[in-house]
Chain A
């Protein structure tokens, strides 16, 4: 069966510090991968998606970046965090094709102080 991992679970960082959040998927190959941010426990904002290694599409211009160095690894980064980067970050994967529901990781709660 497939599983998705995210770490860390919680993170408190000062403004201006760097960020690296990691997501890995097990039990599947060549998944589509996604990073979302959920603010105030509500709507999901798609940040990045990837359909293959090294292929990253950005949905919202901001000070975040994403990389996919391996097939089942997706990393969200920032060089300098802003207060507005606080939120709940969710990684998800899906298969391509018609059976394309997304499966979400447990999330990372980021607080920027």
Chain B
């Protein structure tokens, strides 16, 4: 069975500071990994994904994530946080091969303080 853990319920960061939202996963074999963002009362928006290749993945709005196979992690990062980055962030994992459902984490609320 596959699973995703987002250990922080909420992350607070000052505007202009770097931000990290943590994600660890458990899956058989190599994973597909995703990050999504959700603004209040809206659907989720895709940010970035890791499929294969370079462990550092760059995505939308200046976000990036680093795949670390030995630590089974896929932390989301941004060098300089904006107030508009305040939202709910979801990490997700999918096992390779055939049709496999995507498993989402429970979400981390990011609050960027002006």
Contact = CB atoms under 8 A, between A and B. Distances in A.
A74 interface: no
A43 B105 contact: yes
Given A42-B106, A42-B107, A59 B43 contact: no
A55 to B, nearest CB: 11
Interface residues of B, number: 22
B43 A44 contact: no
B13 to A, nearest CB: 20
Contacts of A102: 34, 44, 46, 102
B107 A43 contact: yes
Interface string B25-48: 000000010101000111111100
B41 A107 contact: yes
Interface of B: 32, 34, 36, 40-46, 49, 51, 88, 90, 94, 99, 101-102, 104-107
